Structure 1
Amino acid sequence: MPRHLPGTPGYRALNVGMALIGLAAFGLLYATQPLLPRLSAHFAVDATTASLSLSVTTGTLALLVVPATWLGQRFGRRRVMRAGLVASVVLMFACAAAPTFATLLVLRAASGAALAAVVGVAMGHVAAEVHPSGLGAAMGLYVAGNSVGGVTGRLVSSIVVDVAGWRWALAAIGLLGLVATVLFWRLLPPPTGPVTAGPSAAEGRAGVWRDPALLALLAVPFLLMGGFVAAYNFLTYRLTAAPFDVSEAVIGAVFLTYLAGTAASALAGRAADRVGRPPVLLASIALMGAGLLLTLPPWLPTIALGLLIFTAGFFGAHSTASGWAPVVGAARPATAGALYVFGYYAGSSVFGAAVGIGWHAGGWPLTVALIGVLIALAALAATLTAVGTSRRPAVSRSERPKVSA
């Protein structure tokens, strides 16, 4: 059975299904982010410690994403994604009842393990099921689902926490994830063909270490996602303190800037198919940096505008880089895709908490400076990837190897 072509019913059904999985996964993964000040107050922990409720989840996910890819190859991608989503929903309801902060961290780490079976397989599933002519747009739509999940989860939890507390807010996210899981289960079409075995772990790693262009590209999600999560983590504390003193519900409205990522992901995916990935990726990174600078003035409208631009730039960059990874690593696309996801969530785990040192030492200005360094390094890595791939011989789409993940 041929892979899904743009405009066909299978292509549309796949895109809807993958958007739903992105919505569920991002909502569940980042459920505690808008609740960090409440967790600090309830459990008597500081901002950096409270951010561990997010970092342990993304850290566990990063560590297990490559084994999850192998599970997808062994048992089927669709089956593994379904199991991971169900487990994640159950664990979210358990988090809502956590009696201590230590218990919450254990449950959040387990959630990361379950979500590794989702996000570790999802990008590879899109790459394996979609014809190369529509891969950029399909990956953009999947990432757009991520951004919708991010804004929906944050908005729901921010509203519920004001009314009923953080436990009910987490339960509401669990319910949202359950609905998305049921719809995903029903809508995702069967695979277009049998899952083929990917390269062995040793073969995959050896190939990656010998490819400077791919190594540089894998640094992009590590750096950008780290800066992105850190910005949202500590901006929450900034807005709940003087001179803003806004409620969680208002912060939830600020998180509506995530919707910029929905549009930017889809637009960047189409633009990458038309004009090439390097210029779209570099432009998106520059946009992210410009938006970050706009958050410096202590004026809420400027912060909201800056966050809007920052978020659009991030998701544009992520959409472009994620579609580029299996192309740059064409000889080992499953490994390249898995390592991209590893870098993405490892950056979230490492810098999402580490930038807290800047927050405690110098407030928002130092936090912005540290995130700016990460963005500049990502731009350098993207440039090195563009230079490295420009020296390779051209490969036609018909000659590219089939992707399995």
Structure 2
Amino acid sequence: MGYIEKGTKEFLDTNVALFAGGFNTFAILYSTQPILPYLTKEFGISPTMASLSLSVTTITLAVSMLVMGSLSEVWGRKSIMTFSITAASILAIVTSFTQGFASLLVIRVLQGIVLAGLPAIAMAYISEEVEKTSLGMAMGLYISGNSIGGMGGRIIIGFLTDAFHWRIALGSIGAIGIAASLLFWLKLPPSRHFKAREFEIGKLLNSMESHLKNPGLLRLYCIGFLLMGSFVSLYNYIGFQLIDPPYSLDPALVSFIFVIYIVGTFSSTWMGRLADNHGHHKVLRSAILLMFAGAATTLHMHLVLKVFGIALLTFGFFGGHSIVSSWVGRLASHDRAQASSLYLFFYYAGSSVGGTSAGVFWTNYGWGGVISMITCFLISALFLSTRFSSG
């Protein structure tokens, strides 16, 4: 049975489905990020505490993916992914009815668990079903769906929160998610190269250990942790800076900062193609340097330059994530879903650790403190990237 190649109807259907799945996943995952200032006011909590509404979801997602990635080696790909995004959409509607911050966190934890069924498995599906010379482009298009989901979801939530209430906004994201789940189920071709294995916990643990002992994979995992920690830290707290003097912007207007995600839609595909043609290691280093330049630029007080810095960091981040994601699939010689789930475990752990830790820097040192932490993360990522001589 042949592989899915670019230029075919199957390639189009696959990317439409994965685009819809990625959109749904990331719109729901980051749905509370643009309303953090509203949560601090409504529940009388600190910005760091409010950030837990995102961090608890990403950390449970990270842990759950270790299980889901392994289970998909036994149960298959499409069925788990479809259940994942459908259940998360229903929970998004339930979230809109929660009355206390503690109950909101409980639902967000459940969302993290069920959302785990799509990201790692989608990467493995692409690695197994798409022809290798089209792999970088396919992964880039999938990540484009992630970036548009992250962008579109935040903008929709910001607009609906300003017009109505944040509860209505969260419920609306759930309704959109159900429609996206149906599109995913209808369009995604069934797996043809997946080979189910028996559920043997010992073998699954051994294969996981072998991935962690692979120096190349381990470096990629750590780079994912550092890049994601940097990215989420910036977006978690930039809103707090922009609604404070001297900017004093309206929170609904601040939510449109996520329009910048559109540059990630371009960079993930473009840099993925560049990596296919010129080598992953070279393009990855360039992406990290772009992130560093962007972070430094946001220190300028002029609003236009600050926005430009955010765009530069976003461009580099999505490009870097696209490169590392496809690189994991190339380096893993077996159990690719598990290898991908390990990468995403580190990736989302970076989101949780970085996103919440940056709150301490924000509270004590302001925006300069947040950027100092991001700088340390990016220097570490750049050092790890230099350990690759080719790829």
Distance 1:86 1:195 in 2: 25
Provide the rounded CA distance (Å) in 1 between the counterparts of 2:169 and 2:101: 16
Q: Does 1:374 align with 2:377?
A: yes
Q: Which residue number in structure 1 is paired with residue 298 of structure 2?
A: 295
Contact 1:278/1:382 (<8 A) preserved: yes
Instruction: Report the secondary structure of 2:20's partner residue.
Output: helix
Corresponding position of 2:136: 136
Larger displacement relative to structure 2 (191-200 or 67-76):
191-200
Cα offset for 1:331? 4.3
Counterpart of 1:248 in structure 2: which amino acid?
P
Q: SS at the partner of 1:173?
A: helix
- Cα drift, residue 221 of structure 1: 0.7
Partner SS, residue 355 of structure 1 = helix
The CA distance in 2 between the partners of 1:368 and 1:110, in whole Å, is 31
In structure 1, what residue type is equivalent to 2:216?
Answer: A
Gap change, CA 1:347 and 1:268, over 3 Å in 2? same
Of 338, 345, 351, the residue aligned with 2:341 is 338
Aligned partner of 1:190 in structure 2 is 190
Residue in 2 that maps onto 1:226: 229
Letter in 1 for 2:344: V
- After TM superposition, the structure 1 = structure 2 runs for residues 306-345 of structure 1, keeping only pairs within 5 Å, are 306-345=309-348
Distance 1:309 1:2 in 2: 39
Rounded to whole Å, the distance in 2 between the matches of 1:353 and 1:51 is 6
Q: What secondary structure, in the 3-state scheme, does the structure 2 residue paired with 1:205 have?
A: helix
Task: Tell me how far 1:132 sits from its aligned partner.
Answer: 1.0
Match of 1:160? 160
Alignment partner of 1:248 is 2:251 = yes
Match of 2:21 in 1: 21
Q: Find the aligned partners of 1:283 and 1:184 in 2 and give their Cα distance.
A: 34
Q: Percentage identity across aligned positions?
A: 37
Any conservation in 2 of the 1:223–1:377 contact (CA below 8 Å)? yes
The corresponding residue for 2:84 is: 84
- Write out per-residue CA displacement over residues 309-349 of structure 1, whole angstroms, 9 at most, x where no aligned residue: 11010000000000001222224533321111111111111
* Contact 2:226/2:380 (8 A) holds in 1: yes
In structure 1, the residue matched to 2:181 is: 181
Displacement of 1:278: 0.6
Residue type at the aligned position of 1:367: V
**Cα distance in 2 for residues equivalent to 1:203 and 1:215:** 16
RMSD: 1.5
Q: Whole-Å Cα distance in 1 between the matches of residues 303 and 180 of structure 2? A: 33
Picking from 348, 356, 360, the partner of 1:357 is 360
Q: Which residue of 1 aligns with 2:260?
A: 257
User: Cα offset for 1:194?
Assistant: 4.2
SS in 2 for 1:371: helix
User: Which residue of structure 2 aligns with residue 149 of structure 1?
Assistant: 149
Mapped contact 1:144–1:266 kept (Cα < 8 A):
yes
What is the one-letter code of the residue matched to 1:30? Y
Identify the range of structure 1 (37-46 vs 234-243) with the bigger mean alpha-carbon deviation. Answer: 234-243
- Greater shift, 130-139 or 68-77, is seen at 68-77
TM-score (norm 2): 0.96
Contact 2:93–2:174 at 8 Å: present in 1 too?
yes
TM-superposed deviation, 1:197: 2.9
Paired with 2:24 and 2:278, the residues of 1 have a C-alpha distance of 31
1:217 aligns with 2:220: yes
1:237 to 231, 237, 240: 240
Partner of 2:8: 8
Q: One-letter code of the match for 2:40?
A: S
Counterparts of 2:335 and 2:118 in 1: how far apart (Å)?
Answer: 20
SS in 1 for 2:369: helix
Equivalent residue number for residue 272 of structure 2: 269
TM-score, length of structure 1 as denominator length: 0.93
1:347-401 superposed Cα distances (whole Å, 9 cap, x missing partner): 11111101111001100011001011111111111222x13x67xxxxxxxxxxx
What is the number of residues matched between the two proteins? 388
Match of residue 397 from structure 1: none
